[in-house]
Structure 1
Amino acid sequence: MKRHLFPFLLVLAFFNAWAQAPATYYNAAAGLTGANLKTALSQIITTGHIPKTYNNLYNGYVSTDSDNFYENDGSVLDIYSENPAGTDPYVYQHTSSSQCGNYSSEGDCYNREHIVPQSLFGSAMPMYSDINFIRPTDGKVNGYRSNFPFGKVGITSYISQNGSKLGTSVSTGYSGTVFEPIDAFKGDVARMIFYFVTRYESQLSGFSSGNMLGNSAYPGLQTWELNQLLAWHLADPVSPMEISRNNASYIYQGNRNPFIDHPEYAAQIWGTPVVDTQAPTAPANLITSNPSSNSISLSWTASTDNIGVTGYDIYKDGTFYVTVTGTTATVSGLNPSTTYNFYVVAKDAAGNASTASNTAPGTTLAGGQPGGSCGTEDFSNIPAASSSYATQTWTSNNITWTATDSRTDQTIVGKAINIRNGNLTSSTISGGVGSLTVTTKIPFSSDTAGNLTLQINGTNAGTIPFSAAATTTTISNINVAGNAVIKIINSETGKRISIDDLSWTCYSVLATGEISKDKPSFSIYPNPVKNNELFVKGENLNRISKAQIYDFSGKLIETIENPFKHSNKIDLKGLVKGNYILKTDAFAAKFIVD
């Protein structure tokens, strides 16, 4: 939106004339550094602090948080909805009718956002009503932010209308869920948190950490959060809006934010953060494998970085597809009998991107071929992110899923469903289930590792382990033909497990039978196979254009073009002992390698 400088200059001049800090305000901090400087500032800003009531914050916001800088219309200046470069998605006035209250979506009402969550200090005074770190923000966005720490988001689970994000952290040193404001207000957030851990340093040992606060006066923050906030403090310098707000807060409750008055104090206390400008090395050895009619698997060698790689962006035919944290992925939603080209780019927490990996082509199978992915569920259609546990229902790929006692605000690779004491159940699917693959993760540090139970049509088919690390598990040889219902059960009371990237292969009687009944003119021998040589007898063998060998989980082992052009023999090239399927464009047959 437009910035109106002339009215702002008048406002700033007005505040500077009668609300600046006294000339001697910071005298006691002169010449100090490190913990001593932090303690001196704590004493300065504690003296003179006159706490007001929590209800009075709304009155205080008229002077501290009115928009005299963008639209210059006196509306509520909300850092979660303000659009510095265009029109705000919605605007609140300083009236009781705009205050929350109940809300169901953005733009319904605004409330009081504790930048340091009140749950960390038990909603105690004077922290509970300290205007220096409590901002008026949209109720819905405030609810999404919840009590998560601030950090840089990689994979998003929610984006507000002004671009503030909730999702998986890519801040170095922390991989949990974080909230990221837009660039224009990152420094504001950092300096409010610096104020909090300085003003209340003597009480930090009694506060909960919330994965952000330290438990001692110095440094007062966890290392990862401190490094991230110092970087934001430098990248987004003090703005005229902050100066005005600091002056108004001083009038309102008698103390100031020293990191707005003296931004240099941050470096003098905590040092200067290392700015990461080095990009990761390019991912190497990208290959495609396990094609189905609608998916292809990718794998590559990990990149290296001076600080650490936080994720990999996968591109399909030059277009961004998804970000993952590991070195494998399955690209789904593809068309049958189609060739795609893939490459991967590595990123670090600072956003530095590597050069692209090698480009790897992959071709999907024709529709109806056995093996590969028969169905997938990536949980992108689950209900909106919510931390409340309830029964969730959604439909994707013509399959309806029901998750009981579940929440929708957690992520692994994109959205994930999190189940506490419930289960995840599909509607009836066709095509059977040969094998099943799923990724699990415990997002909460208070929970411990364990196992989920997989049932197909009510019968136990295997166990799925879960731990604090994202774990992908494949259960093979399920081999249930016809209609099937998939059910994943969490029977470990109280543990909260996230589930993502569920896929399964089809299974049919034809796929494991002998020669198809409608193609009786072909036979294979010997069976079991010995000496790695499989022979085929039948009419017009030389017209068969392709032969493919699958294992019983549906994994494609080998494709042979024009297999009988010169003989009726297939060289199995040392297949290990086991059961396999030979599939051609004329017949399908099971064989055993002895």
Structure 2
Amino acid sequence: MKKLFICLIFSQFANAQAPSGYYSSANGLTGASLKTALSSIITNGHQDKGYTGLWTAYKTTDIDKNYENDGSILDIYSERPSSSDPYNFSSVSDQCGTYSVEGNCYNREHIVPQSFFNEGSPMKNDIHFVRATDGKVNGMRSNYPFGKVGSTTFTSLNGSKLGTSTSSGFSGTVFEPIDEFKGDVARMVFYFVTRYQNQLSSFSSGNMLGSSAFPGLQTWELNVLLAWHNQDPVSQAEINRNNASYTFQGNRNPFIDNPNYVNQIWGSQTPTGDTQAPTTVTNLAIPSKTTNNISLTWNASTDNVAVTSYDVYMNGSLKSNVTSTSTTITGLNPSTSYSFYVKAKDAAGNTSANSSTVSGTTNASTALPVNCVNETFETIPTASASSYTTKTWTNAGITWTATDSRSDQTISNKAITVRDGSLKSSNFSNGISSLTVTTQLKFSGTSGAFNVLVNGVNVGTIPYSTTATTTTINNINVSGNVVLTLVNNSTSNRVAIDNLVWTCSAGSARQSIVSAENTELKELQVYPNPISNNEIFVKGKTENIQKAEIYNLQGKVMQTISQPFKNGKSIKVNQLPQGIYILKLDETSLKFLVK
């Protein structure tokens, strides 16, 4: 990498860029003590110039003097270090503004998202981690943490990526800048968790920040950033920006002035130089399965240093990352076949070959499926995506209409964003019992809530804020024909909606349950009823019963027990909320109550 040569030159005198004695109080310290000393140094002298002051700062801090040297904005999300940039921004005149595609305008990108600290000052206005970047890419990055992307959902014109994490310890959505700026990002995050270490306990983690002053980051994210810091040394562009930021704001980023502080505080990435992959996982098996779950076990892999985790793949896609040699995959469909394989990973990111593949089929459902409607918004119209219009699409037999809406924003992937309008379903004949939906406030505005209407009657609210939030409304319980409507009561808040799931009316489930109860064998009976102490006693001939299943009235399997009566006449059950449940013993169903 071209930065390596630059680093060898500037590592000799990086501290010379800071005033004499600026870091003297940190001399001789390591670990948490060094971090605390640096926090005090860079807090003193810090002048909050306000959020609009960032536009002024960018005229000196974020100008390209090291790549094209053309006086344009240096944008880490569009800069191509070894070829022509896809577009260029002029200072001031190209400030956002509105945008729909890359190259429209540049924005203020918080490398640590401002939703983590509730848009508070001085964090929101701190030039050391708020960069001038393309508005569209800034919006796509949203508030996701940084990590190594596997399956990509978005790629910017310079190769920055959004997608599923392959970083050990985290399997959610992450954003990955190009190699040229990975170290830049790491050192900006290290600055943030050092400057604001005393406030971290009041910030949201965002799957990124830690809640304590030391280490200040979640372990998986710290490992990613340490690797990026080590592979991408400090560049002249970073040094120039640090000096300009000091002139503007009165404090410095110590990890640019002295990169060795990183390893003196957090330790170098371990293990260094490890290129040997773990052995292939063996004896992958499916020991048990239910209507909605499949359990997996395997033998531990070995490694020259240590295996740190296992990636579990379902039907060819990464499903989860675990540290143990077993896991249970939940939320599956009944009577459906799934295939699985596992890869072992070590701390250096080396990955084993695929294990052998095993397949299993979930059990057939004996009650109503939990999710009758599952709208992922993957088929929403893409024409005029950034324009607020009425958009209509059909998925799984339901036609959706979103008024005053746009379709270019994301949460987990595609989402529909409603401003001064609503999201409405067509008529659905199987009723609704509960509703789950994910929301997120986009661009600017204040927290609020959607009204949820079923057949025009308000049944609850779905809150939204700048943080993606999943909310469930239970006990709606409207049977027959229903129309669902989510209404945005704000005329200005732009709110994205994703992953809408509802369960069918409990009425249909109760009808099935009544039929099952009519087949109940007279000699089997739950006693006492209501049950107590999480234990079900059953009278009658139980010794040959092979399986017990507990369902709620919505048809969801709450627990499955093999050979439930091998040790006596009672079954120990998991903690259940108050309500009515069905105990299914092989082909016999018994109703019981929990108070």
- Is the TM-score greater than 0.5? yes
Q: Is the 8 Å Cα contact of residues 286 and 359 (structure 1) preserved in structure 2?
A: no
Q: Quick check: which has more Rg, 1 or 2? A: 1
Residue 246 of structure 2 corresponds to residue 253 of structure 1: yes
Per-residue deviation, 1:437: 9.3
- Aligned match of 2:580: none
- Aligned match of 2:379: 381
Per-residue deviation, 1:145: 3.7
Residue 339 of structure 2 corresponds to residue 342 of structure 1: yes
Aligned length: 479
Residues 509-588 of structure 1: pairs in structure 2 closer than 5 A = 575-576=587-588
Residues 171-320 of structure 1: pairs in structure 2 closer than 5 A = 179-198=175-194, 200-201=195-196, 204-205=198-199, 209-211=203-205, 218-219=213-214, 222-224=216-218, 228-237=221-230, 239=232, 242-250=235-243, 253-254=246-247, 256-272=252-268, 284-285=285-286, 299-301=294-296, 312-315=312-315, 320=317
* Corresponding residue SS for 1:54: helix
- Aligned match of 2:104: 108
- Aligned match of 1:37: 34
Per-residue deviation, 1:259: 1.6
Q: Is the 8 Å Cα contact of residues 147 and 165 (structure 2) preserved in structure 1?
A: yes
Per-residue deviation, 1:331: 7.6
The one-character-per-residue Cα deviations of 1:423-480 (angstroms, maximum 9, x if unpaired) are 8642246xx5499997667999xxxxxxx9896x78999999xxx99899999x9995
Match of 1:128 among 125, 130, 136: 125
The one-character-per-residue Cα deviations of 1:187-208 (angstroms, maximum 9, x if unpaired) are 211211222343x358x43995
Please give the alpha-carbon distance, in whole angstroms, between the structure 1 residues aligned to 2:287 and 2:456: 39
Structure 2: unaligned runs, 5 residues or longer = 301-305, 323-327, 442-450, 463-467, 512-517, 522-553, 557-584, 591-595
Please give the alpha-carbon distance, in whole angstroms, between the structure 2 residues aligned to 1:324 and 1:375: 28
Q: Is the 8 Å Cα contact of residues 171 and 349 (structure 1) preserved in structure 2?
A: no
- Aligned match of 2:330: 328
- Aligned match of 2:499: 500
Structure 1: unaligned runs, 5 residues or longer = 291-296, 333-338, 445-451, 513-527, 532-552, 556-572, 579-594
Please give the alpha-carbon distance, in whole angstroms, between the structure 2 residues aligned to 1:209 and 1:470: 19
Please give the alpha-carbon distance, in whole angstroms, between the structure 1 residues aligned to 2:106 and 2:149: 24
Please give the alpha-carbon distance, in whole angstroms, between the structure 1 residues aligned to 2:361 and 2:439: 33
Per the alignment, do residues 4 and 342 of structure 1 end up closer, same or farther by CA in structure 2, a change over 3 Å counting? closer
Per the alignment, do residues 26 and 54 of structure 1 end up closer, same or farther by CA in structure 2, a change over 3 Å counting? closer
Per the alignment, do residues 163 and 395 of structure 1 end up closer, same or farther by CA in structure 2, a change over 3 Å counting? farther
Per-residue deviation, 1:134: 3.0
* Corresponding residue SS for 1:97: coil
State the AA in 1 paired with 2:76.
I
Q: Is the 8 Å Cα contact of residues 110 and 139 (structure 1) preserved in structure 2?
A: yes
Q: Is the 8 Å Cα contact of residues 67 and 75 (structure 1) preserved in structure 2?
A: no
Please give the alpha-carbon distance, in whole angstroms, between the structure 2 residues aligned to 1:65 and 1:487: 52
Per the alignment, do residues 105 and 230 of structure 1 end up closer, same or farther by CA in structure 2, a change over 3 Å counting? same
Residue 141 of structure 2 corresponds to residue 142 of structure 1: no
Per-residue deviation, 1:60: 0.8
- Aligned match of 1:78: 75
Please give the alpha-carbon distance, in whole angstroms, between the structure 2 residues aligned to 1:152 and 1:56: 33
The one-character-per-residue Cα deviations of 1:541-567 (angstroms, maximum 9, x if unpaired) are xxxxxxxxxxxx999xxxxxxxxxxxx
State the AA in 1 paired with 2:378.
S
Q: Is the 8 Å Cα contact of residues 440 and 472 (structure 1) preserved in structure 2?
A: yes
Q: Is the 8 Å Cα contact of residues 162 and 176 (structure 2) preserved in structure 1?
A: yes
- Aligned match of 2:447: none
Per the alignment, do residues 340 and 310 of structure 1 end up closer, same or farther by CA in structure 2, a change over 3 Å counting? closer
Please give the alpha-carbon distance, in whole angstroms, between the structure 2 residues aligned to 1:267 and 1:246: 19
* Corresponding residue SS for 1:60: helix
Per the alignment, do residues 301 and 56 of structure 1 end up closer, same or farther by CA in structure 2, a change over 3 Å counting? same
Q: Is the 8 Å Cα contact of residues 99 and 110 (structure 1) preserved in structure 2?
A: yes
State the AA in 1 paired with 2:139.
G
Q: Is the 8 Å Cα contact of residues 431 and 482 (structure 2) preserved in structure 1?
A: no
Per the alignment, do residues 129 and 201 of structure 1 end up closer, same or farther by CA in structure 2, a change over 3 Å counting? closer
Superposition CA RMSD, Å: 6.7
* Corresponding residue SS for 1:111: strand
Please give the alpha-carbon distance, in whole angstroms, between the structure 2 residues aligned to 1:65 and 1:250: 14
* Corresponding residue SS for 1:379: coil
Residue 398 of structure 2 corresponds to residue 399 of structure 1: yes
Between the aligned residues of both structures, percent identity stands at: 39
